[in-house]
């Protein structure tokens, strides 16, 4: 592809994305295809001769778009949002065009230094404790995902708890990780990868009303393990659990971790973004106890996947846990100790220039623009919850401090599941579900960049109308 061909094709691709975003709201949010639909439509082999980009764009329209779940759709209310935005896409495009590797400071100095500064900016925006700044012992880094952040935190915690054995000879005793019964699945996955096994994870009871971790139960679990000769290594607390956005009580949890010398990692994957709004920053109270913290700008801060912001209070410990130095990576800058080599802060060696999309986003929106996005989601979700509460066929099942509302039909699990299947079956909205204390629960998460009040209104009217049909069709309870 010569430069002029690239320029033309590049403009065509940007036009294609622009048109996609402009017409997105008219598409079904998701598809009802059986598995294998796309496989059956694709040729068996790649083309023997090259083809123009226009041919690929035509196939995107024909073969890909009709068979996607459209996460940027204004009526996408499933899971948590996975935001993207114009500036994020453009920043990513620049990163792709530069194609640099930022594994060491010396392999691309600006890639490292921009990332360090942006993570300090973000720490300021979220009001994170001073010790996470790069100006002290700590610092931030971009991981691909919150799952990776939890894994890296687990490895550093094991390094600390085993006094270096995890790194040298491997674990000599049974080490334990703790989270609530509502903790994310990535915590168990990290424990398996780190060698603790699923049984190494203690799941601690939650308060039945708030769904937040019960500190007394955490203390009891740690004491029982200590009495049995096991080593408590890490507690993962959550700000905004995946199921219902419960906020674990960090001040109490932090005090327990400090008392027993256990690493505290705080997973705020979704809800961390809310802390850019001062009125929502109460959710981070107690964070000064944390050894590490992460949130996903790729969920709610208008930055495309993948972008997880991860901070540690003591970067030296993390680097010590993960560094391996073969001859071919030796360089004078690293040897001076004056530079950050982010390869030692993550699992892979190589790393792309993810800071660019974050830089484009922070500069385009500014702090106020990002706050406006978060506030609009919180307000729309609050309005939706009011309507659910005002209809006595429904109930709201958990507090909703952010932009997720959990609710169900009072008639029970069967009716609630049928309601979800029917509204999603229309293709006009996408909601997902969870179980809260064993009961089937619908989740409506606001946060897609194009979502406006009318989309949330429409979702409510569709739910209310469909509930009437579902309740009429279901056999009356005996
Ligand atoms: C979404 C989520 C994760 C996983 O996020 P990834 O970045 O996709 O790994 C982890 N923890 C919580 C609380 C989440 O909501």
Identify the H or E element spanning 339: none
pLDDT at 283 over 60: yes
Burial string for 83-108 (b: 16+ CB within 10 Å, else e) reads bbbbbbbbbbbebeeeeeebbbbebb
Angle at 264 between CA 258 and CA 267, to 5 degrees: 150
Confirm whether 222 is domain-assigned: yes
Domain containing 223 equals 100-353
Given the CA of residue 240, which atom of ligand 1 is nearest to it? 13
pLDDT value of position 478: 55
Strand, helix or coil at 21? Answer: helix
Best probe residue, ligand 1, of 82, 242, 274, 443 (max atoms within 8 Å of C-beta) = 242
pLDDT value of position 156: 97
Please tell me if the CB atom of residue 248 comes closer than 6 angstroms to any atom of ligand 1.
Answer: no
CA 301 / ligand 1 centre spacing (Å): 14
**For residue 312, how many C-alpha atoms fall within 13 Å in the half-sphere facing its CB?**
26
Confirm whether 78 is domain-assigned: no
Whether residues 329 and 364 share a domain: the answer is: no
Question: How does DSSP classify residue 247?
Answer: B
Please tell me if the CB atom of residue 267 comes closer than 6 angstroms to any atom of ligand 1.
Answer: yes
pLDDT value of position 336: 87
Please state the domain count of the chain: 3
Whether residues 347 and 395 share a domain: the answer is: no
pLDDT value of position 60: 97
Confirm whether 343 is domain-assigned: yes
pLDDT in tens, 17-64: 999 999 999 999 999 899 999 999 999 999 999 999 999 999 999 999
CA 268 / ligand 1 centre spacing (Å): 8
pLDDT in tens, 288-310: 999 999 999 999 999 999 999 99
Do residues 193 and 151 touch, judged by C-beta distance below 8 A? yes
Rounded to a whole number of angstroms, the distance between the first and last alpha carbons of the chain is 70
pLDDT value of position 337: 85
pLDDT value of position 191: 96
Q: Give the chain's mean pLDDT.
A: 96
Do residues 142 and 310 touch, judged by C-beta distance below 8 A? yes
pLDDT value of position 334: 87
Q: What is the distance of C-alpha 15 from the center of its chain?
A: 29
Strand, helix or coil at 140? Answer: strand
pLDDT in tens, 98-156: 999 999 999 999 999 999 999 999 999 999 999 999 998 999 999 999 999 999 999 99
Structure tokens that stand for 97 in this block: 């065009």
Do residues 265 and 239 touch, judged by C-beta distance below 8 A? no
Q: Which of 295, 319, 353 is the last residue of a domain?
A: 353
pLDDT at 161 over 80: yes
Best probe residue, ligand 1, of 179, 270, 300, 401 (max atoms within 8 Å of C-beta) = 270
pLDDT value of position 240: 98
Whether residues 305 and 418 share a domain: the answer is: no
Whether residues 162 and 249 share a domain: the answer is: yes
- Percent of the chain exceeding pLDDT 70 equals 99
Q: pLDDT band at residue 81, thresholds of 50, 70 and 90?
A: very high
Tell me the H-state helices in 164-289.
Answer: 165-168, 185-194, 215-227, 250-260
Whether residues 242 and 328 share a domain: the answer is: yes
Q: Which of 353, 384, 399 is the last residue of a domain?
A: 353
Q: What is the CATH number of the domain that holds 300?
A: 3.40.640.10
For residue 176, is it left (φ>0), alpha (ψ between -120 and 50) or beta? beta
Confirm whether 135 is domain-assigned: yes
Whether residues 369 and 349 share a domain: the answer is: no
Whether residues 144 and 238 share a domain: the answer is: yes
Confirm whether 87 is domain-assigned: no
CA 163 / ligand 1 centre spacing (Å): 29
Please tell me if the CB atom of residue 186 comes closer than 6 angstroms to any atom of ligand 1.
Answer: yes
pLDDT value of position 477: 61
Confirm whether 227 is domain-assigned: yes
pLDDT value of position 329: 86
Structure tokens that stand for 131 in this block: 């010790």
Whether residues 206 and 292 share a domain: the answer is: yes
* Tokens 């990776």, located at residue: 148
pLDDT in tens, 406-442: 999 999 999 999 999 999 999 999 999 999 999 999 9
CA 303 / ligand 1 centre spacing (Å): 15
Confirm whether 478 is domain-assigned: no
Dihedral over Cα of 40, 79, 264, 280: its sign: positive
Q: Which of 309, 331, 353 is the last residue of a domain?
A: 353
Whether residues 365 and 315 share a domain: the answer is: no
Question: Please, which residues bridge with residue 237 across strands?
Answer: 266
Strand, helix or coil at 90? Answer: helix
Q: What is the CATH number of the domain that holds 441?
A: 3.90.1150.10
Given the CA of residue 150, which atom of ligand 1 is nearest to it? 10
Whether residues 434 and 326 share a domain: the answer is: no
Identify the H or E element spanning 179: strand 175-180
Confirm whether 455 is domain-assigned: yes
Q: What is the CATH number of the domain that holds 36?
A: 1.20.1340.10
Structure tokens that stand for 294 in this block: 């992460």
Please tell me if the CB atom of residue 217 comes closer than 6 angstroms to any atom of ligand 1.
Answer: no
Least confident piece of the model among 281-285, 335-339, 460-464: 335-339
Whether residues 374 and 425 share a domain: the answer is: yes
Whether residues 376 and 319 share a domain: the answer is: no
């Amino acid at each position: 592809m010569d430069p002029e061909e690239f320029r033309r094709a590049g403009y065509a691709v940007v036009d294609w994305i622009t048109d996609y975003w402009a017409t997105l709201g008219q598409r079904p949010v998701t598809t009802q295809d059986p598995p294998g639909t796309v496989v059956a439509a694709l040729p068996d082999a790649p083309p023997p001769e090259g083809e123009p980009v226009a041919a690929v764009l035509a196939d995107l329209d024909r073969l890909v778009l009709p068979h996607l779940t459209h996460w940027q759709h204004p009526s996408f209310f499933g899971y948590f949002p996975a935001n993207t935005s114009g500036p994020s896409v453009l920043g990513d495009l620049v990163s792709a065009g530069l194609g640099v590797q930022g594994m060491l400071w010396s392999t691309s100095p600006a890639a490292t230094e921009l990332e360090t500064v942006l993570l300090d900016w973000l720490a300021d925006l979220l009001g994170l404790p001073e010790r996470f700044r790069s100006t002290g012992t700590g610092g931030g880094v971009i991981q691909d995902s919150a799952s990776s952040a939890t894994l890296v935190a687990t490895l550093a915690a094991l390094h600390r708890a085993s006094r270096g054995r995890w790194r040298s000879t491997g674990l000599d005793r049974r080490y334990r990780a703790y989270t609530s019964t509502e903790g994310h699945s990535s915590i168990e996955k990290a424990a398996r990868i780190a060698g603790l096994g699923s049984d190494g994870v203690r799941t601690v009871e939650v308060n039945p009303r708030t769904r937040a971790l019960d500190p007394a139960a955490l203390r009891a679990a740690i004491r029982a393990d200590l009495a049995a000769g096991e080593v408590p290594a890490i507690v993962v607390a959550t700000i905004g659990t995946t199921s219902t956005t419960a906020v674990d009580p960090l001040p109490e949890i932090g005090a327990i971790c400090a008392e027993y010398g256990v690493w505290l990692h705080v997973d705020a994957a979704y809800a961390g973004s809310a802390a850019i709004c001062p009125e929502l920053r109460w959710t981070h109270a107690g964070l000064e106890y944390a050894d590490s913290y992460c949130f996903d700008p790729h969920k709610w801060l208008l930055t495309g996947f993948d972008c997880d912001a991860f901070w540690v209070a003591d970067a030296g410990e993390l680097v010590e846990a993960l560094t391996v130095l073969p001859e071919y990576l030796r360089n004078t800058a690293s040897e001076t100790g004056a530079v950050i080599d982010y390869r030692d802060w993550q699992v892979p060696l190589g790393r792309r220039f993810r800071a660019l999309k974050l830089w484009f986003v922070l500069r385009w929106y500014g702090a106020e623009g990002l706050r406006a996005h978060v506030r609009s989601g919180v307000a729309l979700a609050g309005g939706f919850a009011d309507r659910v509460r005002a209809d006595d066929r429904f109930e709201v099942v958990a507090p909703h401090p952010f932009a997720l509302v959990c609710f169900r039909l009072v008639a029970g699990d069967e009716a609630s599941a049928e309601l979800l299947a029917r509204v999603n079956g229309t293709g006009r909205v996408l909601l997902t579900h969870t179980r809260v204390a064993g009961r089937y629960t619908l989740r409506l998460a606001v946060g897609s960049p194009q979502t406006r009040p009318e989309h949330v209104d429409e979702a409510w009217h569709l739910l209310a109308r469909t509930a009437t049909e579902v309740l009429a069709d279901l056999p009356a309870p005996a």
